[in-house]
Structure 1
């Protein structure tokens, strides 16, 4: 496992170097439609450079014995029974707006089970890693989700469309009225999950999950840090749902009981 993790760390840091290098030089030219980033020449160039660099790296490691698939923002590499799922830039809108909150994520899977995951914030140089059965770490230090609830000052992260969706299944009014929570919508799913594992936030709620690839790397980091991932009614078979609730056992019980 460790050699594979070392390769992934090298790749994710190289991706981060390219992203940071180009951060200050691009011109913002956002087109507000369903595929705004497809119409931006710069972001297409960034993705092309990243894809080329990642592909060259994999060819050097695995020779020609890999199958490469591109799915929207993801690069997927198949080598025998091993699948690498890479998101070179999670938080595209933040990157466009020069808001330094975005990340790169890598999930390495065998037989549809994630065995290694990495989330990297190139601006803060925060590298979150996890190996199945061997805990989660931030820059080499062990992560562990707090399994208690503070009386106040809980911080919840939500998906972008939570307040505008008909799928708003969790009632947060009780927590608001009792001044227990503050809310954030960060625009970067992988960092939300990594921050929860590091106790920087206390709960992540998403009621409109369309692509679980965005969750893969963070999922293992959460699990290895002792956090819980369920749907809104507490079922662990959340991949058959379109919603997820990520937190510790105490906050999960509180939320479900008040919803």
Structure 2
């Protein structure tokens, strides 16, 4: 049974998606203009979004909502509930007209993520999760349990290629297992695709802002996946690195990263 808070979140994230798509489609008129400024475009979009979202929250919470941030992330607080919204995860893809970006939303209550959503407005794919109630893609339950010994796809963050030479064992793993590598530019979609078995592993060796990972974290866990650091510990939030996949993939990668830290 869908929760009332999830219903509100879905309405908000779809409204955000509609605005993002309109601006995405309008870019062709300005993209080759010498006066075109991508920063102005993003600020204009964010200003429009923050007004619409704030109005929605005011209707729900009777103006008791507090806006903590309204730049890269929109962060709203109502009593013990915090809404963390990333309006465009994959801004460079969006600006370059590369059709791979998403909107992410995490609803945290008393410090725990209880509801999360990741929405690809171009494909109309909506990933959702409620703590303790599984994860879904467009209403269909997700299970992060597929494991094939060949044709594995690993998604990496952009800094992974700058690993020091002592981590060559992972590169050997990629070659030995014929692992294909993807750097997509949208962290949220990487994590959502992992939960949906579209990719097999996500590796991030330079976690600087965990807000980018909050929504995907709950979706992966509710789909049965695991998240650790590179030595298999679950306190990855206190590490600079993160490894996500099902139990078979985690075991495979950790066995090849013994000397990373």
Shift of 1:71: 5.9
1:167–1:207 CA contact under 8 A, matched in 2: no
Q: Which residue matches 1:123?
A: 122
Q: Which residue matches 2:200?
A: 202
Distance across 1 between alignment mates of 2:4 and 2:166: 43
1:214 lines up with 2:212 in the alignment: yes
Q: Which residue matches 2:24?
A: 23
1:136-215 correspondence to structure 2 within 5 Å? 136-148=135-147, 150-166=148-164, 169=167, 171-215=169-213
Per-residue deviation, residues 78-136 of structure 1 (Å, max 9, x unmatched)? 11111111111110000000001000111001110000000000000000000000000
2:146–2:197 CA contact under 8 A, matched in 1: no
Q: What is the DSSP-based 3-state SS (H/G/I as helix, E as strand, rest coil) of the residue aligned with 2:21?
A: helix
Per-residue deviation, residues 158-194 of structure 1 (Å, max 9, x unmatched)? 0011112449857323333324310000010000000
Aligned residues: 251
Q: Return 5+ residue gaps in structure 2 as ranges.
A: none
Distance across 1 between alignment mates of 2:44 and 2:52: 12
* TM-score w.r.t. length of structure 1: 0.92
* TM-score w.r.t. length of structure 2: 0.91
2:46–2:71 CA contact under 8 A, matched in 1: no
Q: Which moved more, 1:65-74 or 1:153-162?
A: 65-74
2:144–2:196 CA contact under 8 A, matched in 1: yes
1:168–1:207 CA contact under 8 A, matched in 2: no
Shift of 1:138: 0.2
Shift of 1:53: 1.0
Q: Which residue matches 2:85?
A: 86
Q: Which residue matches 1:97?
A: 96
Q: Give the alignment's Cα RMSD to 1 decimal.
A: 1.9
Closer, same or farther in 2 for the Cα pair 1:169/1:10, shift >3 Å? farther
1:167–1:208 CA contact under 8 A, matched in 2: no
Shift of 1:39: 6.2
